[in-house]
Amino acid sequence: MAILTAMGNATRGATWIALHNGGGVGFGEAENCGFGLVLDGRPETEEKAVNILFWDVTNGMARRSWSGNSNALKTIEKIQGKNDTIRITKNHLQ
């Protein structure tokens, strides 16, 4: 998921992308990503920020819903109800 999220952030125009491991679970136990975006006040930068933040956060909620987190699943269902372009497959347990 970290690589998928990083690639999505990159294609949406992030200024920089970081892939790293760790993240509170121990060195080498998990892959994580981060991004940066220079906010320079241009309208296109605002659009990038909206797209990147939506992608990044929604990806995290999808991953958590797949692991069985009921709050994440409820949030995803709420988002899908408001935005018909978002399609997240439920795991077999739900």
Phi, psi for residue 93 in degrees, rounded to 5: -80, -15
Q: Would you state the pLDDT for residue 11?
A: 94
> What pLDDT does 14 receive?
94
Q: Is 55 domain-assigned?
A: yes
Q: What is the pLDDT along the chain (94 residues), one digit of tens a residue?
A: 888 889 999 999 999 999 887 666 666 677 888 899 999 999 999 999 999 998 888 888 888 888 888 898 898 889 888 988 888 887 765 5
Range of the domain at 34: 2-82
Is 6 within the bounds of a domain?
A: yes
Domain membership of residue 91 (yes or no) is no
53 in Cβ contact with 71 (< 8 Å)? no
**Does 92 reside within a domain?**
no
pLDDT at 93: 58
Per the structure, how many domains does the chain have? 1
Whether 87 is in a domain gets the answer no
Residue at 7 is within a domain: yes
